[in-house]
Amino acid sequence: MKISTARVGGCMAVLALLLLSGRPVQGELLIGPSPTDVIVTTNADDASFGPFPIPGGPFPFFGMSESTFFVNSNGNLTFGTGNPLFFDSPFPITGSNFMMVAPFWDDLFLPPGEIRLNNGVELPNTVVVIWNGVGVFPGTSPTRITAEAILVGAGSLFLAPAGTIIFSYGDITGTEDNSVTVGLNRGSGGGFANLPGLPSSLNTAQAIGLSNRVFTFTPTATGGYTVSEGAPAIIPEPATGAMGGIAAVWFGLGYVWRRRRRAAA
């Protein structure tokens, strides 16, 4: 598993340890694919998989506590039950099958691509799901989607409260029908959360604009979320002097990259 240095703030020692593996990041996802990932599927149309346990105990979601989740082929996770619906709709949506974490809810289609799951194996108490280079229905167009949802549980290495949700995007080249839903939906009571400055229903140009970006949904004391662009920092693991030096180099490179990116903006 590889974590993108350009996308994580704060200490970098743990990044140096993980980056020694040299495994590729797909389209600059925050957390790239790992050999320890479970390949959920490489062949799916409007399908749901699960339930899968959430490591680290109950996961807070809009003030509720969830212990399992479902991976849906159409670019989202749900709590309580699977949801294979392909027709995306703007949030909020009411219904027990719409307790949804949707980095890219659209009519997705596999092959091409795959859905990958890392359920706390390499990062403790952290769920990572990647829709990796998947297509859109009926699978014959060149459109490809790489999107990632990360659930941060108690005891995760991320310096973020339990219940934090991160969306990370690789390359996105289009949508199925000029519409994709992105955000969080409570499923009852009208609660939902969008990306900053965007509606929950995006057109194709807005969806393509998500490419190589990261967004963090941080839970609040009142059961809602604050949403920001960027990723939370990571707790450093103990490091030797050599590893500390590597970490410092990575930190410096990340800092320079961010400064250059801002200067170019």
Number of H helices, E strands in the chain: 3, 17
Q: What is the pLDDT of residue 22?
A: 37
| 234 secondary structure, DSSP code | B
Please report, in angstroms and rounded to a whole number, the separation of the first and last CA atoms in the chain.
Answer: 30
Q: What is the dihedral of CA 162, 165, 170, 171, to 10 degrees?
A: 180
Q: What would the pLDDT profile of 98-114 be if each residue is shown by its tens digit?
A: 999 999 999 999 999 99
Q: What would the pLDDT profile of 168-200 be if each residue is shown by its tens digit?
A: 999 999 999 999 999 999 998 889 999 999 999
**Amino acid at residue number 231:** A
Check if the beta carbon of residue 199 is closer than 8 Å to that of residue 181.
Answer: no
Q: What is the pLDDT of residue 45?
A: 96
Check if the beta carbon of residue 244 is closer than 8 Å to that of residue 234.
Answer: no
Q: What is the pLDDT of residue 1?
A: 58
Pair type for strands 164-172 and 214-219? antiparallel
Q: Would you give the distance in Å from CA 175 to the centre of its chain?
A: 18
Q: What is the pLDDT of residue 149?
A: 99
Q: Is 12 helix (H, G, I), strand (E, B) or coil?
A: coil
* CA atoms of 59 and 50, how far apart (whole Å): 16
Q: What is the pLDDT of residue 243?
A: 44
Where do the structural domains in the chain lie, given as residue ranges?
Answer: 26-239
Q: Is 248 helix (H, G, I), strand (E, B) or coil?
A: helix
Statement: the pTM of the whole predicted model exceeds 0.85: no
Q: What is the pLDDT of residue 254?
A: 42
* % pLDDT > 90, the chain: 72
Instruction: Tell me the Cα Rg of the chain.
Output: 18
* CA atoms of 199 and 202, how far apart (whole Å): 6
**Amino acid at residue number 43:** N
**Amino acid at residue number 94:** T
Residues lower than pLDDT 70 in the chain: 1-27, 237-265
